[in-house]
Amino acid sequence: MFSRAPNPYPGLMITRERRAVPRRYLMCPPEHFAVTYAINPWMTPDQPTDRARALRQWDRLRQVYLDLGHEVQTIAPVPGLPDMVFAANGGTVVGGKVLGARFRHPQRAGEAGAYLDWFAASGFAEVRVPEYVHEGEGDILFAGDTLLAGYGFRSDQGVAAELTHLFGLPVVSLRLTDPRFYHLDTALCVLDADTAMYYPAAFDDAGRAALAARFAELIEVKDEDAEVLGLNAVSDGRHVVLPVQAATLAGQLFQRGFVPVGVDMSELLKGGGGAKCCTLELRS
């Protein structure tokens, strides 16, 4: 984990202080995690995976959230659904309302029902099944008064209308152009209502312009940090949980008043996911 000393980055000056907001997260332990098929460029089925190591990394991530004062709920993993650990794809939750998932690939289709059942059993009064393909917070990011919706590889652009109808928020659609960054949460991370970090090369010109118009402060991430899924990160407004391998990005965040908290998600990266993929925020 990155040091929490007053200044672990000598020579960098903090530009402002940030404020953390307590969050509620849903996670799914990787008890059945394996890479048995390839539906994104990160997955190599003939590369061995270590389930025990994945469980240790996942448990460490969960403990980091608890140590930061956040609430973590868990959903029981289902045998035969190795990617269910990537809870962010289970739906989008805003104001206690839920738009469930509809997966692009048949290998993940069974996850949609498992998450819908959990939402229904957990007291969410309004839970809807999407008409369009919608892979939850993998492609939908909450930015205060706006939803950012990625499309091009997994989710359909048409889901924007469903999001607006259910949540009553405007939606900014962003086309993804690099298959390595197949979900929006691999190419963009909302840090607070006015600040985000992103990998410009993952978006077209219109997407880059839309992000520049939406955020007062945009942090551009370098190739080496994007390529370890450094943007697959979780922010509470002050602390940013991100891959420990994204060292340059951690320094950029610290300089802007955020507290980077590094976690090793290298085993789950074999499935194409990191901290954010494993984390679905339950916004009440």
Tens of pLDDT along 56-91?
999 999 999 999 999 999 999 999 999 999 999 999
Which pLDDT belongs to residue 8? 67
Q: What's 194's domain CATH number?
A: 3.75.10.10
Instruction: Report how far residue 261's alpha carbon sits from residue 157's, in angstroms, rounded to the nearest whole number.
Output: 33
**What distance lies between CA 196 and its chain's CA centroid?**
13
* Count of the separate structural domains present in the chain: 1
Percent of the chain exceeding pLDDT 70 equals: 95
Which pLDDT belongs to residue 11? 62
Which pLDDT belongs to residue 7? 62
> Is residue 16 situated within a structural domain?
no
Q: How many residues does the chain have?
A: 284
Which pLDDT belongs to residue 201? 98
Strands 140-142 and 71-74: unpaired
> Is residue 169 situated within a structural domain?
yes
Structure tokens at 80: 């035969």
Catalytic residue among 28, 183, 189, 278: 183
| Averaged pLDDT for residues 116-141 | 97
DSSP string over 65-100: HHHTT-EEEE----TT-GGGG-GGGGEEEETTEEEE
> Is residue 45 situated within a structural domain?
yes
User: Model confidence over 3-55: pLDDT tens digits?
Assistant: 344 566 666 667 688 999 999 999 999 999 999 999 999 999 999 999 999 99
183 is catalytic: yes
Residues 66 and 279: beta-carbon distance below 8 Å: no
Q: Is pLDDT above 50 for 1?
A: no
Cβ partners under 8 Å of residue 142, min gap 6: 94, 148, 190, 281, 283
> Is residue 6 situated within a structural domain?
no
278 is catalytic: no
Amino acid making up residue 143: A
Domain, as residue range, for 60: 24-281
Q: Is pLDDT above 90 for 162?
A: yes
Which pLDDT belongs to residue 17? 83
Q: Is pLDDT above 70 for 212?
A: yes
> Is residue 14 situated within a structural domain?
no
User: Model confidence over 80-128: pLDDT tens digits?
Assistant: 999 999 999 999 999 999 999 999 999 999 999 999 999 999 999 899 9
Q: What is the dihedral of CA 166, 168, 170, 174, to 10 degrees?
A: -20
| Averaged pLDDT for residues 116-145 | 96
Start-to-end CA span in the chain (Å):
30
> Is residue 64 situated within a structural domain?
yes
Cβ partners under 8 Å of residue 5, min gap 6: none
Which pLDDT belongs to residue 16? 80
Q: Is pLDDT above 80 for 168?
A: yes
Q: Is pLDDT above 70 for 132?
A: yes
Q: Higher model confidence: residue 15 or residue 247?
A: 247
pLDDT mean across residues, the chain: 95
> Is residue 183 situated within a structural domain?
yes
> Is residue 147 situated within a structural domain?
yes
Structure tokens at 70: 């956040």
